[in-house]
Structure 1
Amino acid sequence: MAVLAHLRIPASTFELGQILDMTEGATIKLETLVPVGEKAVPFFSVHGTVAPAFEKNVRAHESVTSITEVSAHDDSILYALDWGVGADTFFRTIAETGATILSATGGPDSWEFELRFTTYESLEMFREHCSERSVPVEVERIYNPSRPETGPFYGLTQPQREALLRAVEGGYYSIPRGLSTKDLAEEFDISDQAVTERLRRAILTLVDNSLVAAMEAESEIEE
């Protein structure tokens, strides 16, 4: 059964992070992700202020053949990167363990990756290889959804996540309550009824895509 892992790695400790050295306030998102091959990350977008020397510095790296600006829109620039992945230990480890990159976002200090592994064993192998090769990967979250289409947040929309998190953190479900639906409604600038409905839908979605899905998966295994 597939295992999804959210991990963080310091930008300075793997080659792509060093190549795409960003200034404060700018972020990078990998747009086209191919985990194996000569062009592992051919396209990426930069959001925020790009330093004048950014392209020059990227082009000067020994592993980079070329960097080309594809398009620009508002504060986002899309680049094509011709990059030899072979020297990047981190990406090589991803390829060796058969993982798939689902998403990747980088900043000045660190990068966050969402990886899919075919089994828990392959994830453990990945962690062992990273440790042996002194790649300081921090696995922050591991989940095993039976419904992969729900993503890392179990199908919750961003408004649902925000409302549910705020309700829990603020003590809405505590006894006595730390805040009311009226308090939440004022914070999110919606009606009391809308808050109640948003929380109701969030809880139903969360339970359906976690507990119910896990029970269904367990039942299939037993059969």
Structure 2
Amino acid sequence: MAVIAHLRVPADSFELGRILELEADGTIELENMIPMGEKAVPFFSVSEDVRESFERNVENHPSVDRIVEVTRHDSERLYSLDWNVSRDVFFQGIIDLQGQLLSGTGTVDTWEFEIRFLTHERLGEFQDHCSNAHIPLEVGRIYNPVRPGTGMWYGVTGPQREALMCAVQGGYYSIPREMSTQELADELGISDQAATERLRRAIETLTENTLVAMQEERDEEFEQPLDS
């Protein structure tokens, strides 16, 4: 069964972390890794407060062939990076073991990744790979996704999570109710109708990707013919 692992790595312990070096507080979000021939092209967003030093460091790095600004949005810019992934032992290990990079966030000192592996054994092989390469790897939460593609939040979006957590913590579902729909909406900064709809979508998505998915998987197991 596939597993998703949350990993933390020092920024200076792998090639891409050194390429994307930050000189000040800020973050880099790795949006995607697109295979293009023998290369893996990362797309990542950079906050405006570190953009200038980031561009200067990346453009001067010997492993980088080209960096392209793809889009701008408010205080962030999206870039693509043309680089030689074979020089990066960390990412080459992900590719060789057929891991799928779901997310990555970098700061001055540390990168945190969410990576899906086909099995627990593949994750173990990746840990051994990093150990042999002397890459300090801190493994955090490990879990089995209930439905493929839902990630650690089971498909519930950030705004939906915020609404659901605020409702539960504020007593919206308590008996007697301690928070009204309007109070919840005011807390979230949206209309009462939008708050109700956001809760409905969150509960529906969470139920579909956990209880319903688990029941479907259980039903499929019982439908399998017995070995003769």
Q: TM-score range by the shorter chain?
A: 0.7 to 0.9
CA–CA distance in structure 2, aligned partners of residues 165 and 20 of structure 1? 34
Aligned twin of 1:156:
156
CA deviation after TM superposition for structure 1 residue 165, in Å: 1.7
Aligned partner letter, 2:93: T
Once the 2 structures are TM-superposed, how far is the Cα of residue 82 of structure 1 from its aligned partner?
Answer: 3.0
The one-letter amino acid paired with 1:180 is M
**Conserved? CA contact 1:145–1:209, under 8 Å:** no
d(CA) in 1 for partners of 2:137 and 2:24? 22
Contact 1:3 1:120 in 2 (8 A): yes
Classify 1:72/1:161 alpha carbon distance in 2 versus 1 (closer, same or farther; 3 Å).
Answer: closer
1:69 counterpart = 2:64: no
Counterpart in 2 of 1:46? 46
Q: Where does 1:42-121 land on structure 2 (aligned, <5 Å)?
A: 42-50=42-50, 52-62=52-62, 64-71=63-70, 73=72, 74-121=74-121
Using the alignment, how far apart are the partners of 1:194 and 1:44 within structure 2?
Answer: 31
Mapping for residues 23-42 of structure 1, pairs under 5 Å: 23-34=23-34, 39-42=39-42
Q: CA deviation at 1:89?
A: 2.4
CA distance in 2, matches of 1:160, 1:57: 37
Deviations 1:85-125 (A, max 9, x none): 23322112212322122333323233232322112221232
**1:112-191 paired onto structure 2 within 5 Å:** 112-170=112-170, 172=172, 179-181=178-180, 182-190=182-190
Q: Identity percentage over the alignment?
A: 54
Are the aligned partners of 1:155 and 1:209 in contact in 2 as well (CA < 8 Å)?
A: yes
- One-letter amino acid of the structure 1 residue matched with residue 145 of structure 2: P
Find the aligned partners of 2:149 and 2:221 in 1 and give their Cα distance: 20
Question: Which amino acid counterpart does residue 68 of structure 1 have in structure 2?
Answer: I
**What is the CA deviation profile of residues 49-87 of structure 1, one whole-angstrom value per residue up to 9, with x for unaligned ones?**
34544334324434x142333445254444443322233
Q: Aligned in 2, Cα 1:58/1:7: closer, same or farther, shift over 3 Å?
A: same
SS at 2:40 equivalent: coil
Q: Is the 8 A contact 2:102 2:116 kept in 1?
A: yes
How far did residue 34 of structure 1 move? Answer: 4.1
Measure the CA separation in 1 of the matches of 2:90 and 2:20: 15
Counterparts of 2:170 and 2:23, CA distance in 1: 35
What 5-or-longer segments of structure 2 have no aligned partner? Answer: none
State the superposition RMSD in angstroms: 3.2
C-alpha separation in 2, matches of 1:43 and 1:189: 32
Q: Say whether the 8 Å CA contact 2:155–2:206 is kept in structure 1.
A: yes
The 3-state SS of whatever aligns with 1:82 is: strand
AA partner of residue 67 (structure 2): T
Cα–Cα, structure 1 residues 199 and 30, in superposed 2: closer, same or farther, change >3 Å? closer
C-alpha separation in 2, matches of 1:220 and 1:205: 21
* Counterparts in 2 of 1:196 and 1:66: CA distance versus 1, 3 Å: closer
Q: Which runs of 5+ in 1 are unaligned?
A: none
